Amino acid sequence: MHIAICDDNIADRKHLERLLLRESDARAASHGILYVDAFGSMESISRSPMIYDMFFIDMTGQPPHGMEVAIALRSMGVTAPIVLCCSTIAYRSYAAPPEEIYYIDKPFSPKELSEMVDLGYNRKTAIPPTIEIRGDDGSTTYVREEEIIYIYPGEHSLKVVLNNGDVVPQHGILRDFIPLLEPYPEFILLGKKYIVNKNHIQCVSGKNAILSDGTKIPLSLIDKHYLKK
């Protein structure tokens, strides 16, 4: 599990980092390793927030303060649990916090900290993993594997066709994107040009595979034999 700390008090930041690394050692045999990154500003934590499964935040110096950081992360599309560490700011008093905000008091109780990590772990395992699609313009889209129908090379980038009708550009070439899909056995390479989610194949008709959106993917004899099998 990947955890981010954002705290402008360097002593508190280092202390929480040490506690979480101890927690990681205690969980190594059962839950796996906790990977912990520590940040001291909103700017630094905003560079790639989507990779984290949980956040511990307390910003009490210059604005933005901790709750404002949490609100900003939610506006970026972050859905992971955010834990506000209560010290000089009474975060619990805010009338309308964003969704899935939790609170823990400083100084940290190891038991409460462990319970928070349990919460993050349970949340992570309950949510299907997403695939990151990066466009040439720097945009990032996160989709579940069942949302992807097929992927094919466009003029300047790959095109990822989704089941809602959207076509999302993916930077790079097909060969580079294939390793990202290795954890998902649903995806197969057809005709050396198309990556297809086999759960979206409706039937094989003649020399084509008919997909759920009506697209016809041309098949070689080897592809056709494989799909029929």
CATH number of the domain within which 138 lies: 2.40.50.1020
Residues in the chain: 229
DSSP single-letter state for residue 15: H
- One domain for residues 83 and 170: no
Question: Tokens representing 24?
Answer: 């990681």
Whole-number Cα distances in Å, 100 to 62, 73, 103, 118, 135: 25, 12, 10, 15, 29
Same domain, 118 and 9: yes
Residues 8 and 115 both lie in one domain: yes
161 contacts 150 by C-beta, under 8 angstroms: yes
pLDDT confidence of residue 97: 85
pLDDT at 83: 97
- Beta partners for 105? 86
Domain identity same for 93 and 141: no
Q: Which of 107, 126, 145 is the last residue of a domain?
A: 126
Q: What is the pLDDT of residue 185?
A: 87
Q: Within this chain, do residues 14 and 44 fall inside the same structural domain, yes or no?
A: yes
For residues 46 and 23, membership in a common domain is answered with yes
Do 148 and 87 lie in one domain? The reply is no
The pTM is what?
A: 0.62
57 and 137 fall within a common domain:
no
For position 13, what pLDDT does the model report? Answer: 95
User: How many domains, in total, are found in the chain?
Assistant: 2
**Which domain range does residue 170 map to?**
131-228
Whether 106 and 6 share a structural domain: yes
Residue 120 burial class via C-beta count within 10 angstroms: exposed 0-12, middle 13-18, buried 19 and up: buried
Within this chain, do residues 199 and 106 fall inside the same structural domain, yes or no? no
Which residue(s) pair with 148 in the sheet?
162
pLDDT for position 229? 79
Q: Which of 126, 144, 170 is the last residue of a domain?
A: 126
Same domain, 138 and 33: no
pLDDT in tens, the chain (229 residues): 999 999 999 999 999 999 999 999 998 887 778 999 999 999 999 988 988 999 999 999 888 999 999 999 999 889 899 999 999 999 999 888 888 899 999 999 999 999 999 999 998 887 777 788 887 777 778 888 899 999 999 887 899 999 999 998 888 888 888 887 888 889 999 887 899 999 999 999 888 999 999 999 999 888 988 887 7
Same domain membership, residue 115 and residue 158: no
